[in-house]
Amino acid sequence: MKKIQSRRGALAMLASIGVLAGLSGCGSNGSDGGPKVTGQVLGSYIQNAAVCLDVNNNGRCDQGEPVARSDAQGKFSISDTSKGSWKYIVADLSGATENDASGKNMGTAFNGTATFRSPRGVGSVSAITTQLSQLIDSGLSQSDAQTQLANKIGTTPDALLGDFNTNGNTLVKAASDQYIATVVSSKAIKHVWVIVLENKSAESTYGTTASDSNQDPYLKSLMPQGTFLSNYYGTGHVSLDNYISMVSGQPSTHDTETDCFQLWSDIVDAGNDSANPKVLKAGTDANGHASGGCVFPARVQHIGNQMEQAKLTWRSYNEDMGNDLNRDGTRTCSFPRRTAQLAGSDPAKAVDGTQAAQAPSASGDVAGDEYATRHNPFPYFHSTIDDLANCDAHVVNLQDNLATDLQSIATTPNFSFITPNLCNDGHDGDGTGAAGKGCKNGQPGGLASIDAFLKNTIPLIQASPAYKQDGLIIITTDEGVVTGLTPTTSLSADGTTLSLLEPEMGNQCPGCNQQTGPNVTRPEQVTMSTLPVAQAALLGINPATLPASVRSVSIALNYLGVGGDQIGTLLLSPFIKGGHVDGTGYNHYALLRSLEDNFGIGSYLGYADDASLKPVFTSANIDNR
């Protein structure tokens, strides 16, 4: 008995001075044999990281996975008892320290979920290898991933890996330092909510001179808490193309720029834009539209795909989705083809039945439903809808899920995309409450309903543990409104068709140098619908005033520019002191690029790859970070 007690005392003493550190953490230290897996955790040099062989490929170190602790130079040696059944090494940085070349603690504080990953065969585990792993998970070969990441950093593929502390590669070292400061440090923003409103100018939403500027006192009361991006612009007109650019960096097709109101068609993959290989060129779709189509092929990804590849979580919350299952089909991952299939009709002939809001019936047997697919970008990607179980888990009804998910940090997604219904996002109604000027559900709509939605939703998010710990709310709008321009008319050469041209100015943010992309041109006129002359009054045209030769009337969008006009955007976070106004030119592509930087994503999607875009999440805008 005395010998046993002495042995326990010796073990306790060794543990107290750290000799047993390699035995602690997540799983076995592999002391029972197996081939050695060695390497080094780099920041500068990360000491006391729990480094494991990620057998179940979940991006974490779990009980039972072979593990060791890194030493003062970041070096580790793991006995692989898993018989090689792993793809990545994971370094859990919680509780670790960062040392300089002399072994001095640099005082870096890592957040509780901070990890690095590295693919098999790479000798280091770092911020750089973490991004390399994400790109491999996106489907790239390691060689192609290495080339793409090297291009992003500005170095060469052969100089990307290795000990950047000693090999003199200052660009790779700076990229690592930036990642540590913004992604895995204790000041990292780990939870972001993007709330998207509809069709409001910056002056209406945040100013004082527009006719509806008095409708959103709550939203304006938030401005002293946050950072206001006064020169933030949409990227297109009329709605869907803005949502697409916001999450994927892809520009307009001839169908996404008009909200895909006809046959819900696939985008035919015609290769890449010669000017930017990350931008898809669209072929002729099922509607016969050259450079058209709605749904991007599976190789085109969005930020949700990137979050999954980074072992982070995301959700799209959509108000009213599935309120009426006869209209929307499901309460999760609703899109026209799935709705048609559930209804027993031909999915190939599906049209979007959610383009207009549905009023509740007087008897109450038909629910009010103001969900709009075009304001929910994720079903427009085969990378999401081809896996319905995955889509159901990520694209959900807002009322069913948001409040529940916010109850704990563990259940709160790292990235949340929030789409109010057609009334609460301000799309429908003018906000005055005047008879005939409101929404189908009886609410006033416009900025008045936006304000009511935000007054309920913002405090809900701000009270959540995730927001209090490391959250950021982004309140933005899809597009601005055109002021000072009036519709014009034109008569066809044969005199039989009168077209009403609705101007879409398309101003873009200063300094953004936004491109049209390969699928549309500017200026351009796009016909939305054509009616017999007897129905001209539906377009606000008096048939009696028309020439006798006119047989039909049409309404067309007259695109004058490539942008989406000025909308403004507000940032709210515990890291923000408040009251700051940033006049830098931003747009949805700049936001996507900034989100990718914030979450440490290894590459930029589409036009987010434009190096001229300014970062939104600067130290000036998020001052306590």
In a domain, 550, yes or no: yes
How far is it, in rounded angstroms, from Cα 100 to Cα 401?
45
Structure tokens, 404: 């529940």
Same domain, residue pair 511 and 592: no
Mention every residue, 6+ apart, whose C-beta is less than 8 A from residue 625: 182, 187, 189, 575, 617, 619
On whether residue 76 sits in a domain, the answer given is: yes
CA 524 vs CA 34, 480, 520, 555, 562: distances in Å: 67, 19, 8, 14, 10
Dihedral (CA of 257, 281, 614, 305) sign = positive
Question: Residue 453 is part of which domain span?
Answer: 191-248+299-361+370-484+565-609
Do 603 and 572 lie in one domain? The reply is: yes
83 is a domain residue: yes
Residue 485, pLDDT score: 87
Pick the closest to residue 405 from 337, 342, 464 (CA basis): 464
Same domain for 108 and 63: yes
| 310/299 Cα distance (integer angstroms) | 17
| 69 and 105 co-located in one domain | yes
Same domain for 328 and 240?
Answer: yes
Peptide bond into 366 cis (omega under 30): no
Where among 134, 163, 184 does a domain terminate? Answer: 184
Distance CA 283, CA 291 (A): 5
Q: Is residue 571 part of a domain?
A: yes
Q: Which helix (H) or strand (E) holds 270?
A: strand 269-272
Residue partners of 105: CB distance under 8 A and separation at least 6: 97, 98, 99
Do 131 and 207 lie in one domain? The reply is no
Domain-located, residue 447: yes
Which of 184, 201, 223 is the last residue in one of the domains?
184
Query: Does any domain span residue 288?
Result: no
Neighbours of 530 (CB within 10 A): 13
CA distance 197 to 569: 10
Domain identity same for 79 and 141 = yes
Same domain (yes/no): 158, 195: no
What's the CA gap between 224 and 213, in Å, rounded? 17
Whether the CB-CB separation of 572 and 473 falls below 8 Å is answered with: yes
In the block, residue with structure tokens 């929404």: 439
Using the Cα atoms of residue 292, residue 296, residue 298 and residue 299 in order, give the sign of their dihedral: positive
What pLDDT was estimated at residue 33? 67
450 and 513 belong to one structural domain: no
- Quick one: the chain helix, strand, coil %, rounded to 5? 30, 20, 50
CA distances from 304 to 3, 56, 190, 523 (A): 58, 21, 15, 33
The pLDDT value given to residue 484: 81
Q: φ and ψ at 5, to 5 degrees? A: -60, -40
Q: Which pLDDT does position 32 carry in this prediction?
A: 55
Question: What residue ranges of the chain have pLDDT lower than 70?
Answer: 1-33
Bridge-based pairing state of the strands 227-229 and 580-582? parallel
**402: number of Cβ within 10 Å:** 21
Whole-angstrom distance, CA of residue 120 vs CA of residue 86: 8
Q: Looking at residue 308, which CATH number applies to its domain?
A: 3.40.720.10
Q: What is the DSSP string of 410-471?
A: TTS-SEEEEE--TTTTSSSSBSS--TTSS-TTS--BHHHHHHHHHHHHHHHHHTSHHHHHHE
Regarding beta strands 232-233 and 569-572, do their DSSP bridges make them parallel or antiparallel, or are they unpaired? unpaired
Give the whole-angstrom CA distance, residue 458 versus residue 499. 43
Q: What is the pLDDT of residue 482?
A: 82
Q: Do residues 304 and 341 share a domain?
A: yes
SS3 annotation, 31-78: CCCCCEEEEEEECCEEECCEEEEECCCCCCCCCCCCEEECCCCCEEEE
Is residue 152 a contact partner of residue 603, using CB atoms and an 8 Å limit?
A: yes
Residue that is last in its domain, among 541, 559, 577: 559
**416 and 553 share a domain?**
no
**Residue 603, domain member (yes or no):** yes
* Residues 125 and 70 grouped into a single domain: yes
Distance (Å, whole) CA 378 – CA 395: 8
Asked, for residue 223, whether it belongs to a domain, the answer is: yes
Q: What span, in angstroms and rounded, lies between the C-alpha atoms of 327 and 15?
A: 63
Separation CA 325–CA 340 (nearest Å): 11
Contacts of 112 (CB under 8 A, 6+ apart): 94
Domain tally for the chain? Answer: 3
Whether the CB-CB separation of 119 and 142 falls below 8 Å is answered with: yes
End-to-end CA distance of the chain: 55
The answer to whether the beta carbons of residues 247 and 595 sit under 8 Å apart is no
Whether the Cβ atoms of residue 415 and residue 357 lie closer than 8 Å to each other: no
